[in-house]
C-alpha cells in the first residue's frame, strides 16, 4: 500500500497506546479515520482533538470481543466513508499469573479481546475490503494485526496472554497465505512489539463487570502484574516510534514488524528446540535476573 491520502483507516483500541499513535500517523498522512474503543471518555477526547485539526474522523464505541459490535463498526464505516483501505486489529488486554490459577473469566476476557477481536475484524472487514477492490481497479488495502513477542515464545506467568498472541500470529500468517492464494490487492502485517509504554499493564480498568473475579489476586498474579508494570514502563521504544515502523512496513509490504530485535535470540532458540526435539529452553536465558525476581516474589 503506497497511497494514504484520503484513504480510510479503521483502528480498534484507538483511544490509547499503539492505536492512538496509528491515528496520529494516519492523520498526518491525510487519511480518513474510524476510531473504535471501549473507553468512551478517551475515545471522545481523541475524536475531538483530531476533528479540531480538520481530520475526517468517526468514533465508534466498540467491544471487539462482541461480533455484533464489530459488525456495527463495519456498518458505520461503510455508511460514513463507503470504503475501507487500512485495518488495524489492535485492541488488546493483559492478564498474568501461574497458568492454572487463571479463572474462566480471565480466559474469556483476554481471549475475547486479544484473539476474537482479531478474528471478528478479519472475518467481517476482509470481505468488505475485497468488495472495495472489485469496485476500484486502483484499490490498495492492508491489514495489520497486533500480536506480541509473547506470540513467538512462552515466558512463565504470562500464560493467557501468550496463548492469545500465539493464536494471533497463526491467524495473521494464515490470512497472509489466503490473500496471496487469491491474488488479492490486500497486504498483511503482523506487529510483534516487545515492552513498550502503552498502558496495557492498566488494562484491568476496562474489564467488564461481568468478567470480574470474585476472589483476590493470587501471589503469582500480583507478581506478574508488578513485573509487567515495571517492564512496560521501562520500555525504551515509544508507541509513536512503533507506529512509524508500522506505516513503513505497510508501504514496503513487509509482514513481520518488530520493535526490538533482541528477543529474536530466544525465538530462534525456541524454533531450534522444536526442530531438534529438545525440552523448551528458558526464555529468560539472556536476562536471568528476571526469573530470579519472579521466583523471589512467588516464595514471598
Top-confidence range, 183-197, 198-212, 222-236: 183-197
> In the predicted model, is pLDDT for residue 300 greater than 90?
no
Q: Active-site residue among 24, 139, 161, 194?
A: 161
> Which residues does residue 192 pair with via DSSP β-bridges, in sequence order?
258
Q: What is the mean pLDDT of residues 267-283?
A: 97
> Which residues does residue 204 pair with via DSSP β-bridges, in sequence order?
none
pLDDT digits (tens, 9 = 90+) for 25-67: 999 999 999 999 999 999 999 999 999 999 999 999 999 999 9
> In the predicted model, is pLDDT for residue 284 greater than 90?
no
Confidence of residue 227 (pLDDT cuts 50, 70, 90): confident
Closest CA relative to residue 96, chosen from 231, 233, 221, 228: 221
Per-residue pLDDT at 119? 98
DSSP 282: P
Per-residue pLDDT at 13? 97
Of 198 and 51, the structure prediction assigns the larger pLDDT to 51
Neighbours of 179 (CB within 10 A): 19
Question: Which pTM value belongs to this model?
Answer: 0.96
- DSSP H or E stretch at residue 37: strand 32-37
Residue 16 zone, left/alpha/beta (φ > 0; ψ -120 to 50; rest):
beta
Top-level class of domain 8-299: alpha beta
For 77-192, list the strands marked E by DSSP: 86-89, 141-146, 186-192
pLDDT digits (tens, 9 = 90+) for 149-178: 999 999 999 999 999 999 999 999 999 999
The reply to whether 284 belongs to the active site is no
Domain extents for the chain? 8-299
Q: What is the mean pLDDT of residues 178-194?
A: 98
Amino acid at each position: 500500500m503506497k497511497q494514504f491520502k484520503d484513504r480510510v483507516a479503521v483502528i480498534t483500541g484507538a483511544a490509547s497506546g499503539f492505536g492512538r499513535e496509528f491515528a496520529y500517523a494516519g492523520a498526518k498522512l491525510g487519511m480518513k479515520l474510524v476510531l473504535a474503543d471501549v473507553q468512551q471518555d478517551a475515545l471522545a477526547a481523541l475524536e475531538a482533538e483530531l476533528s479540531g485539526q480538520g481530520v475526517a474522523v468517526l468514533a465508534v464505541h466498540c467491544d471487539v470481543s462482541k461480533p455484533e459490535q464489530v459488525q456495527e463498526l463495519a456498518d458505520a464505516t461503510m455508511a460514513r466513508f463507503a470504503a475501507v483501505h487500512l485495518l488495524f486489529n489492535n485492541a488488546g488486554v493483559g492478564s498474568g499469573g501461574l497458568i492454572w490459577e487463571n479463572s474462566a473469566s480471565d480466559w474469556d476476557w483476554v481471549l475475547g479481546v486479544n484473539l476474537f477481536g482479531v478474528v471478528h475484524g478479519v472475518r467481517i472487514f476482509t470481505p468488505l475490503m475485497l468488495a472495495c477492490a472489485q469496485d476500484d481497479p486502483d484499490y490498495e488495502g492492508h491489514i495489520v494485526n497486533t500480536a506480541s513477542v509473547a506470540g513467538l515464545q512462552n515466558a512463565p506467568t504470562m500464560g493467557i496472554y501468550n496463548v492469545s498472541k500465539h493464536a494471533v500470529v497463526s491467524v495473521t500468517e494464515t490470512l497472509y497465505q489466503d490473500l496471496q492464494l487469491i491474488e488479492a490487492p490486500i497486504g498483511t502485517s503482523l506487529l510483534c512489539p516487545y515492552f513498550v509504554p502503552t498502558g496495557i499493564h492498566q488494562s484491568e480498568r476496562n474489564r467488564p463487570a461481568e468478567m470480574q473475579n470474585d476472589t483476590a489476586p493470587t501471589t503469582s498474579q500480583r507478581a506478574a502484574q508488578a513485573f509487567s508494570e515495571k517492564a512496560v514502563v521501562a520500555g525504551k521504544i515509544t508507541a509513536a516510534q512503533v507506529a512509524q515502523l508500522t506505516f513503513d512496513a505497510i508501504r514496503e509490504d513487509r509482514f513481520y514488524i518488530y520493535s526490538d530485535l533482541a528477543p529474536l535470540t530466544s525465538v530462534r532458540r525456541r524454533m531450534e528446540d522444536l526442530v531438534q526435539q529438545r525440552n523448551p529452553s528458558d526464555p529468560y536465558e539472556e536476562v536471568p535476573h528476571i526469573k530470579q525476581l519472579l521466583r523471589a516474589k512467588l516464595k514471598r
